[in-house]
């Protein structure tokens, strides 16, 4: 059967790059981008775009039927820092949108779903180093609670109804093409912008706050690869741990100073410190490597080189 893809939340940080990547693989008209907000000109001009509310089951169904969609990537969500400001709205969006696509698959209207989870599923009682695939999970943020609950529902729909849903626990994702959407790891993007503009950055996380991170290209490859994997190889149907690098603000600073020696950092932590403190420092992603061949490619210094080169011209 011919593959036709719908991306919900395509105008965001990940959706933008994912849409362009998938259009290069499957053909521009085979990948339908959608969001409640318009996307960048590059994305809008590269193929079909629909205004679509992820909360509206009937509207999603109309697009799925109209375009004969086979696969849905659900990228619409409220992220960690914003969710702490609007807990009920976050819960509503993050859960209703997931139920909408899970039910479409259960009713046989789509074949396959990608839904991203996050390292936020872990909490203060989780082992912080080499956090295992299966471990204590007591998330303390509304975002983490919504992601952990989502994981349970993904596994339930897979086991009970045979829904082919695949998921990754993304770490903080770093990119230069689109602005981040209100997460706790956003500092690791902003720091590059500020380093180039002002030679100085005021960090909302304290020195020593080590968090798992990944360059966007690696995350997009992981996303596409888990969707291409044979169904039997995707053994975990809640969500896979995924890892590339971990660093604290002073380590990314040192990496930037290799290119901009006069760059300095100061620390003024805010409410996001408590969110970061509840998350793991490093992640064990052996299961993803063994089951469907995940391999990361970009480390901190390589990422810094790419970020500085591309942001210099902006
Ligand atoms: P983002 O905030 O940049 O983008 C989300 C997009 O969803 C936005 O374009 C927004 O307009 C859209 N949206 C919001 N409400 C909508 C609705 N009702 N209907 C349709 N679209 C709606 O987020 P992102 O960083 O691209 O994240 C995408 C997914 O990946 C989310 O599930 C997020 O939780 C997850 N994730 C992201 C990161 C990261 O570092 N960016 C890390 C872990 C997990």
Atom of ligand 1 minimally distant from the CA of 186: 40
Residue 308 lies in a domain: yes
State the residue range of the domain holding 272: 172-213+244-281+298-312
Residue 43 lies in a domain: yes
**Which residue among 77, 189, 190, 212 is best mutated to probe the pocket of ligand 1, counting the most ligand atoms within 8 A of its Cβ?**
77
- CB neighbours (10 Å) of residue 189? 23
**Which residue among 37, 53, 79 is best mutated to probe the pocket of ligand 1, counting the most ligand atoms within 8 A of its Cβ?**
79
* The predicted structure's pLDDT at residue 180: 86
**Helix or strand or coil: residue 79?**
coil
For residues 56 and 154, state if they share a domain.
Answer: yes
For residues 53 and 198, state if they share a domain.
Answer: no
* The predicted structure's pLDDT at residue 6: 98
In angstroms, what is the span from residue 260 Cα to ligand 1's centroid? 32
* The predicted structure's pLDDT at residue 313: 75
**Distance separating alpha carbons of residues 120 and 171, to the nearest angstrom:** 8
Atom of ligand 1 minimally distant from the CA of 115: 32
**Distance separating alpha carbons of residues 191 and 186, to the nearest angstrom:** 9
* The predicted structure's pLDDT at residue 178: 87
| Catalytic residue positions, numbered | 143
- The closest residue, in CA terms, to atom 28 on ligand 1 is 75
**Distance separating alpha carbons of residues 285 and 294, to the nearest angstrom:** 9
For residues 264 and 236, state if they share a domain.
Answer: no
* The predicted structure's pLDDT at residue 1: 58
**Distance separating alpha carbons of residues 109 and 61, to the nearest angstrom:** 8
In angstroms, what is the span from residue 144 Cα to ligand 1's centroid? 14
In angstroms, what is the span from residue 79 Cα to ligand 1's centroid? 7
pTM reported for the whole predicted model: 0.97
In angstroms, what is the span from residue 226 Cα to ligand 1's centroid? 19
- CB neighbours (10 Å) of residue 106? 15
Q: For each successive 10 residues of the chain (314 residues), what is the average pLDDT?
A: 92 97 97 97 96 98 98 97 96 98 98 98 98 97 97 98 98 93 92 95 97 98 98 98 98 98 96 95 98 98 97 83
Atom of ligand 1 minimally distant from the CA of 94: 32
For residues 186 and 206, state if they share a domain.
Answer: yes
Q: Which residues line ligand 1 (CB under 6 A)?
A: 8-9, 11-15, 35-37, 52-55, 75-77, 79, 93, 116, 118, 170, 172-173, 180-183, 185
* The predicted structure's pLDDT at residue 79: 95
**Distance separating alpha carbons of residues 68 and 59, to the nearest angstrom:** 14
For residues 103 and 190, state if they share a domain.
Answer: no
For residues 182 and 302, state if they share a domain.
Answer: yes
* The predicted structure's pLDDT at residue 2: 85
For residues 71 and 29, state if they share a domain.
Answer: yes
Q: Which helix (H) or strand (E) holds 49?
A: strand 49-51
In angstroms, what is the span from residue 35 Cα to ligand 1's centroid? 10
């Amino acid at each position: 059967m011919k593959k036709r893809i719908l991306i919900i939340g395509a105008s965001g940080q990940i959706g933008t790059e994912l849409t362009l990547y998938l259009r290069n693989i499957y053909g521009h008209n085979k990948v339908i981008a959608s969001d409640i907000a318009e996307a960048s000109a590059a994305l809008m001009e590269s193929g079909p775009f629909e205004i679509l509310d992820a909360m509206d089951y009937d509207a999603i169904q109309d697009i799925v039927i109209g375009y004969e969609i086979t696969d849905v990537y659900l990228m619409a969500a409220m992220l960690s820092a914003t969710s702490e400001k609007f807990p009920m709205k976050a819960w509503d969006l993050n859960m209703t949108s997931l139920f909408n696509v899970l039910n479409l698959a259960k009713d046989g209207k789509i074949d396959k779903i990608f839904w991203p989870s996050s390292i936020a599923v872990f909490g203060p009682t989780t082992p912080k180093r080499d956090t295992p695939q299966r471990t204590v999970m007591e998330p303390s943020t509304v975002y983490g609670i919504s992601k952990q609950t989502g994981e349970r529902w993904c596994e339930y729909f897979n086991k009970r109804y045979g829904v082919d849903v695949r998921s990754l626990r993304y770490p903080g994702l770093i990119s230069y093409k689109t602005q981040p959407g209100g997460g706790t790891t956003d500092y690791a993007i902003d720091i590059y912008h500020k380093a180039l503009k002002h030679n100085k950055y005021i960090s909302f996380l304290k020195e020593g706050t080590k968090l798992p991170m990944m360059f966007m290209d690696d995350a997009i490859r992981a996303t596409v690869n888990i969707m291409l994997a044979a169904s039997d190889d995707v053994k975990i149907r809640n969500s896979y741990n995924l890892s590339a690098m971990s660093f604290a603000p002073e380590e990314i600073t040192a990496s930037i100073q290799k290119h901009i020696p006069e760059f300095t950092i100061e620390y003024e932590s805010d409410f996001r410190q408590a969110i970061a403190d509840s998350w793991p420092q490093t992640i064990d992603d052996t299961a993803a490597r063994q089951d469907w061949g995940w391999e990361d490619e970009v480390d901190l210094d390589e990422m810094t080189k790419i970020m500085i080169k591309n942001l210099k011209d902006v």
